[in-house]
Structure 1
Amino acid sequence: MRITIVGCGSIGSKLAKFADGMEEVKRIYLLDVQKKLAEDLAATLNKGIVVDSVEDELYHCDLVIEAASQEAAKEVAMMTVNRGVDIMIMSVGALVDDEYREAFFDKAKQTAAKIYIPSGAIAGTDVLRAAHIDEIESVELITTKGPKSLAHVKYLEDNHIDVTKYDSPTVIYNGTAREAVKDFPQNINVAATVSLLGIGFDRTHVKIVLDPAATVNSHELRIRGAFGETVCHTDNKPSPDNPKTSYLASLSAEAALKRIIRKQYIGI
């Protein structure tokens, strides 16, 4: 298998190193707007090679992994499925755009391209996927993060919310998943995944809590439906390389990649 990774930051780098150790992977093409990141990463791999364009690699690539940004995801994802190539999307918040999402899904059906979205740093997606077969009444996601994880968020800065000034847990966002994904593009991709699996971006309710004492990023997913009720709570250690990202997010992506490559879908 030949893989193209777009975005050589924390998660992209971990995925590249993970793939480099799999015998099924023959080549890993690396692309980043900061070319030096791709070059530095390639230097640590046995199978890595830096490229300048995703489009050129689609002719001899089996899987594209987007690990860059919502903006990059929209461009790369459509380009990839247009060629009938499979894609894994990490910046799943890009799919909040209804018109784009429907066009993207339709094109993938036409070209038989597969779309993979890892569960990310949250428990309960398996319950939500199953519950959606019948009626779901409500879905609520409560995310709690510390000041470091919420630093330099434009939404907070625009609303004059200084994350260093709070001395007790405080709700800093309370609304729909649609707005949460737009306002916190690097912090709450799990809200997009939950929305896609369940009752949509407008009916999924999100609370973001700033806790100055938090040492982990926590997600509590509450689901109520015809199946009954469930509450799934996850306390995630931040990634050592990026405090805005939970370590479990990269582990989830690695696990997804392993399943894709080896075609073993236990717990599907």
Structure 2
Amino acid sequence: MQQHHRVAVAGLGAVGMKVAAALDAGMAGLSLVAVSAADAARAQARVAGFARVPPVIPAADLAQVADIVVECLPPSLFRSLAEPVLLAGGTLVAASAGALVVHDDLTALAARTGGRILLPSGALAGLDGLRAAAEAGLEAVTLVTRKPPASFADLPAGEGPHCLFAGSAREAIARFPLNVNVAATVSLAGLGADRTRVEVWADPALTRNEHHLTVESRAGRFTLVAQNWPDPDNPKSSAITGFSIIAALRRLGAAVVIGT
């Protein structure tokens, strides 16, 4: 018999609203039981048309009503949500992968309590290959992210592509906490935040967010390029990010699982 899970969504911005709507439309083995947002009145208005209108409750209370909590919050609020979920032994599906690098002690907390942290692939395909290469033995992992200048706060358009940053994934996450979650996910799946090399470029010629991943391992070498439309409601993120979380949730309730 299929196990049924109660799901809550923290944050109803561009990504969170997309995820909440998909849950309301129906997912095997999953039901939306609550949402949270900084503006509760606005959140109530946004979910008023759902088939089953979920209650809007404080983020700190979501772990009390849900087995799975989907985090779609600003990175500064990550820990205040993640800690109670993991202390309760729940599953955290995290959009803010960079925050997990900053608060790396939460991994040990999850191990102690039986909680789980799931990081969806987000804006980058190829994580299956990276994880397989890690089993063989990684030698180098490099991620080059290119975005339109509008994706970066207070950055003028400029006349041509220019490199904003080159260094480790950990340094990139500290400098661009809203822009490089994909770098955090790559580093956690591979060589770690200090050994994963990252470049961040602003390019006024681009209309899409681009990620170029190069992986070298004892099993071989591969390069992957992802070109994603920016989310119209949040150009710092790719539109595919929300769909990646939805796919990860469907996987939790699936009878057949595809991919590693």
How does the TM-score come out when normalised to structure 2?
0.92
Distance 1:195 1:27 in 2: 31
Q: How does 1:108-187 map to 2 (within 5 A)?
A: 108-152=110-154, 162-164=155-157, 166-187=158-179
Moved more, 118-127 or 9-18: 118-127
Residue 55 of structure 2 aligns with which residue? Answer: 50
Which residue identity is paired with 2:51?
A: N
The 8 Å contact of residues 143 and 213 in structure 2, kept in 1 or not, is answered as: yes
Residue 196 of structure 2 aligns with which residue? Answer: 204
Residue 194 of structure 1 aligns with which residue? Answer: 186
The 8 Å contact of residues 4 and 65 in structure 1, kept in 2 or not, is answered as: yes
Task: Tell me how large the CA RMSD over aligned residues is.
Answer: 1.6
Which residue identity is paired with 2:198?
A: V
Question: Which SS does the other structure have where 1:33 is aligned?
Answer: coil
The 8 Å contact of residues 163 and 210 in structure 1, kept in 2 or not, is answered as: no
Return the match for 2:218 from 222, 226, 229.
226
Distance 1:238 1:57 in 2: 29
Question: Which SS does the other structure have where 1:245 is aligned?
Answer: strand
Return the match for 2:77 from 72, 81, 84.
72
Q: Is the counterpart of residue 29 in structure 1 residue 30 in structure 2? A: no
The 8 Å contact of residues 136 and 225 in structure 1, kept in 2 or not, is answered as: yes
Distance 1:209 1:163 in 2: 13
Distance 1:132 1:196 in 2: 11
Which residue identity is paired with 1:257?
A: L
Which residue identity is paired with 1:109?
A: A
Distance 2:218 2:130 in 1: 12
Distance 1:68 1:264 in 2: 30
Question: Can you give the 5+ residue segments of structure 1 that lack an aligned partner in the other structure?
Answer: 153-161
1:219 Cα offset (Å):
0.2
Q: Is the counterpart of residue 83 in structure 1 residue 88 in structure 2? A: yes
Distance 2:66 2:160 in 1: 50
The 8 Å contact of residues 42 and 50 in structure 1, kept in 2 or not, is answered as: no
Residue 244 of structure 1 aligns with which residue? Answer: 236
Q: Is the counterpart of residue 12 in structure 1 residue 16 in structure 2? A: yes
Distance 2:240 2:147 in 1: 15
1:263 Cα offset (Å):
5.3
1:34 Cα offset (Å):
2.1
The count of aligned residue pairs is 255
Relative to structure 1, the CA distance from residue 55 to residue 146 in structure 2 (aligned partners, 3 Å threshold; closer, same or farther) is closer
Residue 156 of structure 1 aligns with which residue? Answer: none
1:50 Cα offset (Å):
3.4
1:51 Cα offset (Å):
2.9
